Amino acid sequence: MTANATIQQIWCLRQATGTDIGVIQALSGLAPVLGQLAGSSVESLVRGMPGVAGAMDSARSDPDNLFITTDTSGDLNSSIWPPGNTTVDMQAGQSKAPGIVIPVSFSENISLWDFDSVSDNDLLGSITIFESEQGTGEIAKLAKSEVESSYYYVTYRVD
């Protein structure tokens, strides 16, 4: 008999930064070349870009447009929550109670995504639910992304 996991709560500890880390790292990598061409003040400017971008992002506080999948495609059409290929705005300190039930045979991946209309959706983090957790009560796991600097707790139980 297959176990069923009920996702009880999604709690946002920190939403994604929205800062494109790859672009910032590429800009920082240009600093030595620019410094040779135009002097050290340009190099200092470019090296400071990651801090400036991070400060701008913190000031904006854009919410994540959260949706959940059981696969790793990041496609909104594969979303299992919220219903109707929609998203839920989430910011630090907010939580939602999806109440969705997912069959678990051995293990099941749960991936949290940030919908992005202009580029690929961003993986906010994922957890793995195991059938062996059946009957152990409420479990909370951290879904995080080093790239997006996002941290979410997913609370569930397996019956």
Query: Residues 56-100: pLDDT tens digits?
Result: 444 456 899 999 999 988 999 999 999 999 999 999 999 999 999
Output the pLDDT for position 33.
Answer: 53
Sort strands 122-130 and 139-145 into parallel, antiparallel or unpaired.
unpaired
Q: Compare 158 and 46 and report the one with higher pLDDT.
A: 158
Q: Which domains does the chain have, with CATH numbers?
A: 3-18+63-158 (2.60.40.1110), 21-59 (no CATH)
What pTM did the predictor assign? 0.75
56: CB partners within 8 A, 6+ apart: none
Output the pLDDT for position 30.
Answer: 55
Nearest 5°: the CA angle 142, 4, 7 is 35
- Nearest in space to 87 (alpha carbons), one of 117, 118, 56: 117
pLDDT at 19 over 70: no
125: which strand partners? 112
Percent of the chain with pLDDT over 90: 66
Q: What is the pLDDT of residues 22-64, one digit of tens each?
A: 445 555 555 555 555 555 555 455 455 555 444 444 445 689 9
Q: Can you state the percent helix, strand and coil of the chain, rounding each to 5?
A: 25, 40, 35
